[in-house]
A and B are shown apart, each in its own frame.
Chain A
Amino acid sequence: MEDSAPGPGIRFQFTAIGTNWTIDTGTPMPETVRQEILELCEDYDKAWSRFRADSLVTQIARSSRGAIYTIPNRDIALLDLYDKLFTATHGALDPLVGRDLELLGYDAEYSLKPDYEALALRVQDSWVRDVHREGSRLITERPVVIDAGAAGKGYLVDLIGQVLRSAAIDAFLVNGSGDLLHSGPEPVTVGLEHPTREGRVIGTVALDNAALCASATNRRTWGQGLHHVLDGRTGQPVHKVVATWVIAAGTATADGLSTALFLADPGQLEAFEFSWVRMLADGRVQWSNNLPGELFL
């Protein structure tokens, strides 16, 4: 695979929020900027990770009763985005599927074993009913599990982009294991990885000062029909859509929409500006008329 870095191709590689990242820049990234990015990622993880005991999300999930919590001001827009996605998908995209993910096995210990007894008794939480928000204050009435998987990584990509721009680095490609943010004078050609056929792409798109996020349910699956994209209204993994790709101005939006396309039809998402591709389980491929690329179908 060709190196995609704009300019001479300087790559910063690191691990954050449990996965692998690369940032390609045209000019070398000062050590101070690298440090700032690593600290940002750690701070973000400490707020939103379901998988660490010391996170805010775990605190909210394991409390004995409801309480008032404060989220970082920096992340208010992430929850605003979830509000918008929840509304657009009529509740199918719901951050409170965290508990359902746990019961299905995708818990903090990665037990990967469904708790069928608890699932039988499970009544779904609802983001609009069970969490009350006022700015950075988050109020719960009982323990709830927030899963920031739908848009959380994309939001962090955007935050990293802001750090780079503040450091006068304007040519970059941030790659948070498949969530991409491009900035610079030369667009980059992105291959859309085939979800089931290794080494193949179903198309290519030109990414030009925009974000691209991809999602597929076959990658993170731990049992028959068990994967991480749940319909918030039922708590069940969805099966009609198997892979999505979204291009939008911001990575948080692209990430959230790449999940939303599993849970809603594109016509429901008209409040957002984006182009997209999605692959259905029956083999159909759908794409928006404004897709800046070509598909090999």
Chain B
Amino acid sequence: MKTHPLTRAAAGAAASLAVLVPLAGCSTEDSRATAAPSQQSTSSPSASTSASESTEVQAAGYTDGTYTARGYYGGAPSYMSFTVTLDDGRITDVESGLMPDNNETSRGYQERFAAALPDEVIGKSVDDVEVGVLAGSSSCGDGFNDALAKIRDQAATNS
């Protein structure tokens, strides 16, 4: 997951999030912190528009620590995830991450992109690899194969 460095807009949006929830583990993708939905990613009136190292937190009474929250905005699948560090009631650090639409990281998978049909995945010849056994889809039952052969014959003679 890519993370983006602190920006003014991110700081503003983070400050305007209604709820911040303590981060138990460090994995932002596992966090289920709620945030006010449909927040636009713009600076809130109370946040300073000039660059500043820290921003005062609106809600009082947060203990120091690292918090994460999600801000939803724009079209349905998009959201930004903010991890903020509070020190003495002030946000001293914000990290924001733009989450991809299909964030399946809780299962954890990787993906390799190709533009075309599975034929484009070349693989390796069985002669070039040391395998004990092959796993493809099941070979069809005999009944199916026979029937398929008959149909192909019919199609050939009918054409």
Binding site for B on A (CB under 8 A): 1-4, 15, 17-20, 51, 106, 110-112, 153, 173, 175-180, 188-197, 199-204, 212-220, 222, 242-243, 245, 265-267, 269-270, 279-290, 295-297
A266 in contact with B137 (CB, 8 Å): no
Binding site for A on B (CB under 8 A): 102, 104, 106-127, 129-144, 146-148, 151
Report the separation of the CA atoms of residues A214 and B134 in the bound assembly, to the nearest whole angstrom.
10
Residues of B within 8 Å of A265, CB to CB, are: 102, 104
Q: A180-B133, A189-B132, A200-B124 are in contact. Are A283 and B107 (CB under 8 A)?
A: no
Residues of B within 8 Å of A203, CB to CB, are: 123
A199 in contact with B125 (CB, 8 Å): yes
A191 in contact with B118 (CB, 8 Å): no
Residues of B within 8 Å of A285, CB to CB, are: 111-112, 114, 121
| A280 and chain B: residue at smallest CB distance | B118
B136 in contact with A4 (CB, 8 Å): no
Residues of A within 8 Å of B124, CB to CB, are: 200-201, 296
Taking the nearest CB of chain A, how far is it from the CB of B12, in angstroms?
32
A283 in contact with B137 (CB, 8 Å): no
25 interchain pairs (CB within 8 A)? Answer: A1-B126, A1-B134, A110-B144, A112-B147, A178-B137, A179-B138, A189-B129, A189-B131, A199-B127, A200-B125, A201-B123, A214-B137, A217-B137, A219-B137, A220-B140, A222-B151, A267-B104, A282-B116, A283-B116, A283-B117, A283-B120, A285-B114, A286-B110, A286-B112, A287-B109
| A176 and chain B: residue at smallest CB distance | B138
Residues of B within 8 Å of A199, CB to CB, are: 125-127
A197 in contact with B119 (CB, 8 Å): yes
Report the separation of the CA atoms of residues A175 and B136 in the bound assembly, to the nearest whole angstrom.
11
Report the separation of the CA atoms of residues A53 and B29 in the bound assembly, to the nearest whole angstrom.
52
| A186 and chain B: residue at smallest CB distance | B132
Taking the nearest CB of chain A, how far is it from the CB of B62, in angstroms?
32
Taking the nearest CB of chain A, how far is it from the CB of B127, in angstroms?
8
Q: A189-B131, A287-B110 are in contact. Are A219 and B136 (CB under 8 A)?
A: yes
Report the separation of the CA atoms of residues A17 and B142 in the bound assembly, to the nearest whole angstrom.
10
Report the separation of the CA atoms of residues A175 and B135 in the bound assembly, to the nearest whole angstrom.
9
